[in-house]
Amino acid sequence: MTLRGLTRTHDAFVGYRLGMNLTVIDHPLTRHYLTVLRDRTTAPPQFREAARGLTSTLVLEATKRVPLEEFDIETPMETTKGYRFTNVVAVPVLRAGLGMLSAVLETIPNVKVGFAGVARDEETALPQEYYSKLPDLSDATVLICEPMLATGGSLSWAVDKVKSSGAKYVIALCVVTAPEGVKRMYEDHPDVKIIAAAFDRELNESYYIVPGLGDMGDRLFGTL
């Protein structure tokens, strides 16, 4: 499902032009893994496994149009054409984004990895940077792993960071999104494609996505 034009997806944003920056994956495996993640009884080991499985489905969608390098290979029978990724960089937003990283590494073995550390101020919900380590991103396809697109502050900050390091083609991988975050990203970075498993109803008074799945980092690492 791609949201475009005038959307009536949720009452809070009736008539707001979301454009074409959000794609919600409609696949049985995605829905299955999302259900496991939403279930409050899912323990951390199973939660991590489901996050890995769901992320794999997001990566497949996100890399549909990533450029490939063509080269010659030898089969047992003859020479033929082969294809490979040449410059893909994954950037998990710490710490919850780490739960998505293993799936990216397994799917794209030669991917490079940068890190963007940001904490959310619990009172203002504003992002506060505490760590950043990025390779040269010139001519790279950058996959930012930010599981929860709530207010959009952390993802917008991460996109600013990778663009300042030379990135021109950026895709965000998200598990769950809220209208407020999608709106923020469309305003700040309309060129960034968002690939997600869900577009949820709203944020609550504590800036958590509802129905959502709770705190992704806490559920991944058992720090509830």
Q: Which of 124, 136, 160, 191 is catalytic?
A: 124
Q: Which of 31, 52, 120, 201 is catalytic?
A: 120
DSSP letter (8 states) at residue 68: -
d(CA 3, CA 17): 9
Nearest Cα neighbor of 157 from 111, 200, 117 is 117
DSSP letter (8 states) at residue 77: S
Nearest Cα neighbor of 213 from 131, 96, 123, 65 is 96
Contact, 85 vs 57, CB < 8 A?
A: no
Q: Cis (ω within 30 of 0) for the bond into 44?
A: no
DSSP letter (8 states) at residue 63: T
d(CA 132, CA 80): 42
Query: Is 39 annotated as catalytic?
Result: no
Query: Is 188 annotated as catalytic?
Result: no
CA angle, 220 then 117 then 200, to 5°? 55
Query: Is 23 annotated as catalytic?
Result: no
Query: Is 17 annotated as catalytic?
Result: no
DSSP-based three-state secondary structure for 41: coil
Q: Which residues are the active-site residues?
A: 120, 124, 215, 218
